[in-house]
Amino acid sequence: MQRLRPLSALLLVTASGLVAAQPLTEEEDLAQAYGDKNFVSIATGTRQLLSKAPSSATVITAETIANMGARTVSQALEAVPGLHVSRNNLQNIYTPTYGMRGILTGTSPQVLMMVNGIPRTSVYLGNPDEQMVELPVDNIARIEVIRGPGSAIYGADAFAGTINIITKTADDIDGTSIAGGGGSFDSWDTWFQHGGRHGDLDVAAYFKVGSTDGQRRIIRHDAIGRSGPVNVGYDSVDGQLDIGYGNFRWRTSYTLRRDVGTGVGIFGALDPTGKIRSERLSSDLSWSDANFARDFSLTLQAAFMHLANEVTTPLVVIPGGVDPTFPDGMIGDPSKWERQARFSATGVYSGFATHRIRLGLGHDNLEIYKTRENKNFTLLPPPSQLPMYRASGANLFLSPHERRVNYFYLQDEWNFAPDWTLTGGIRRDLYSDFGGTTNPRLALVWEARHDLTVKLMYGSAFRAPSFVELYATGNPLIMGNPNLRPEKIDTLEAAVTWQVNRDLQTSLSLFQHKITDIISQIGDTYRNGGKQKGHGGELEVNWAATDNLRLTGHYAYQKNTDETTDHDAGYAPHHQLYARADWRFGSGWMLSGQVNRVADRKRAWGDTRPALPDYTSTDLTLRSIRPRQGWDFSLSVYNLFNADIREPSRADSGIIYDLPLPGRSFWLQARYNL
């Protein structure tokens, strides 16, 4: 806290002492200049100017995604200050992990990812994406990101940050398109998209199929000393349907990944044969009335999600001939089936002159209702190899479990004086398996001048233990601990946004956080007890240099320390520098280039390997501006200069030279708009 006090004072002095810049235009003019990316809803649940939102937030629009040439959510998220997308360093299966402000762990359970406001978190590992189940970006209207705690509104796992992916409606699409693309690693996909009004219905539909062999970079030394290519190929199917009727909206989506490779193996031993199938079906129905009563709006929502992760070709945990206890190797096929039901009600009362009250309540029922495992080993003393058998009891990797959550939250946006707004909120969550937790937040926003906004913010958040951390049994990696408590974080932030003129905007955010009750592996089980502290900041600049040239960029710094060892927490970069230029030229063409510099990544305590090399990746995308009808094209080159990009592996994984990411690659796409 003490570090931020002088920094906060400096921001306040700066706010009152800067020389007056050009007057800020009305919100409509600002939206015209900067587009819809200058507004955000995730900070309070209500649309508002980004500069006035009581949080450090970023918005990525569909246009930005297209300019970047991003094909997946993780590629698009690299444009967020203070967020670094790494790869799973716990199980080495190459699932994206989202490190926010230096908080980077194996499965990124400290970042809440939502789709249209509904969490897509799996209770199995607490992560948003399992087995490469990443959303494609073609049907995304915008992505809103909060850096910092969000549990006061969104509950569990809105710990280091919150990501909300908003899919396209009929108005966003307004027509019909078909497209196909292909590129490096024998990758291809084709998709169909439609949006329009049919009678009283607003209908948006999207369907996509594709396949990739995945990059094949070489692991020079795995856990048993072998070398070989990573195994990250898969086949994919994605479908989404959005129907609006009056006050009702129904959304459903389907995601399938087949023949998913195991990266560098579940136990760090290369597994070229293991295959996984992951299938997700989600659906939600909402009813919303902005005039339910005088000065009161009401939204009711019910949501369902089913997630199946099956091993279709048994995983080779340890190959034969390595461990004399298991002469034929350790082989298994752990599979699980998960379902979630969520019910919520949200109301907003605006009848007070200076207050806007938001309140909500809900119930979640989260369960792994079926598990199955065939394997040839037992871990019960003494460990031994057996013929393949159907595991049960303590030999089963995880038995079915259920979690029930009830919650209530209250938020007040209080305009207590001209140009001053105090947002306060509190949420209480009651869990059936580990008890209750209460998380408050406060944010003071001062519009110091027509072109200058200053914010001071405090919030707490929690991360719920996953089912693996609580209940894992016959797991060759680690056992669960049913007595775990949730992780906790307290964060203090200060920020200033300066609209230098109509075409130039800059912002600076400073933060400090403290984490307690960190869940980590101690011996052969999970335990609470770790502590971590961190501080840093993010500087952003957006400049419309000319009518046809837009420049954006940010620099982020963080330092996180493991207080148990007084050593750097490891894995996350201390410095990130990102810059992008979007140049519109000729008759309807756009050329975009982006540079991403990742620097100064330390090893965790006890890892004596040299520090990871810094890297700079450069991407270029040339695309035609989408016409109302007819063809448009795009060509992207990723990692243009073929940089050797590696993300950190754990010291105990056996992957000495870390996790290599793709070298130079290409993607060409054509779309026809009917």
Read off φ and ψ for residue 473, nearest 5 degrees: -120, -90
CA distance 381 to 398: 18
**pLDDT > 90: percent of the chain:** 78
Q: What is the pLDDT, as a whole number, of residue 17?
A: 36
pLDDT-derived band at 650, boundaries 50, 70, 90:
confident
> For tokens 């048994």, what's the residue?
314
CA distance 467 to 457: 32
**pLDDT > 70: percent of the chain:** 93
- Summarised one tens digit per residue, pLDDT across range 75-110 is 999 899 999 999 886 666 788 889 999 998 878 899
Indicate the SS3 state at residue 17.
helix
Q: What is the mean pLDDT of the chain?
A: 91
CA distance 464 to 467: 9
The answer to whether 61 and 142 are in contact (CB under 8 A) is yes
Decide if pLDDT at 199 tops 50. yes
CA distance 609 to 481: 31
CA distance 405 to 400: 17
- 6: cis peptide before it, omega within 30°? no
Q: What is the mean pLDDT of residues 494-508?
A: 95
Whether the model pTM is above 0.85: yes
Amino acid found at 530: G
pLDDT-derived band at 21, boundaries 50, 70, 90:
very low
Ordered domains of the chain (ranges, CATH): 4-673 (2.40.170.20)
Nearest alpha-carbon partner for 425 in 439, 407, 406: 439
Q: What is the pLDDT, as a whole number, of residue 29?
A: 46
pLDDT-derived band at 170, boundaries 50, 70, 90:
very high
**69, HSE (Cβ side, Cα atoms, 13 Å):** 31
Q: What is the pLDDT, as a whole number, of residue 476?
A: 75
CA distance 100 to 160: 6
CA distance 662 to 7: 40
pLDDT-derived band at 24, boundaries 50, 70, 90:
very low
Give rounded-to-5 percent helix, strand, coil for the chain.
10, 55, 35
pLDDT-derived band at 38, boundaries 50, 70, 90:
confident
Decide if pLDDT at 566 tops 90. yes
CA distance 166 to 170: 13
Decide if pLDDT at 524 tops 90. no
Q: What is the pLDDT, as a whole number, of residue 47?
A: 86
The answer to whether 215 and 230 are in contact (CB under 8 A) is yes
The total number of residues shown for the chain amounts to 674
Is residue 415 left, alpha or beta, with left meaning phi > 0 and alpha meaning psi from -120 to 50?
A: beta
- Summarised one tens digit per residue, pLDDT across range 56-76 is 999 999 999 999 999 999 999
- Summarised one tens digit per residue, pLDDT across range 106-155 is 788 999 999 999 999 999 989 886 666 677 899 999 999 999 999 999 99
Mean pLDDT lowest among 37-46, 574-583, 629-638: 37-46
CA distance 60 to 141: 9
Decide if pLDDT at 364 tops 50. yes
Decide if pLDDT at 8 tops 80. no
Decide if pLDDT at 15 tops 50. no
Decide if pLDDT at 16 tops 50. no
Q: What is the mean pLDDT of residues 414-441?
A: 96
Q: What is the pLDDT, as a whole number, of residue 89?
A: 67
Question: 564: Cβ–Cβ under 8 A, 6 or more apart, which residues?
Answer: 529, 530, 531
Question: 550: Cβ–Cβ under 8 A, 6 or more apart, which residues?
Answer: 542, 543, 544, 581, 582
What sign does the dihedral 220-226-229-233 (CA atoms) show?
negative
CA distance 121 to 136: 17
- Summarised one tens digit per residue, pLDDT across range 305-359 is 999 999 999 999 889 988 899 999 999 999 999 999 999 999 999 999 999 999 9
CA distance 474 to 496: 51
Please state the separation of Cα 420 from the chain's center in Å: 32
CA distance 366 to 118: 13
Please spell the DSSP secondary structure of 115-127, one letter per residue.
Answer: ETTEE---TTTS-
The answer to whether 526 and 552 are in contact (CB under 8 A) is no
pLDDT-derived band at 381, boundaries 50, 70, 90:
confident
Question: 249: Cβ–Cβ under 8 A, 6 or more apart, which residues?
Answer: 242, 243, 285, 286, 288
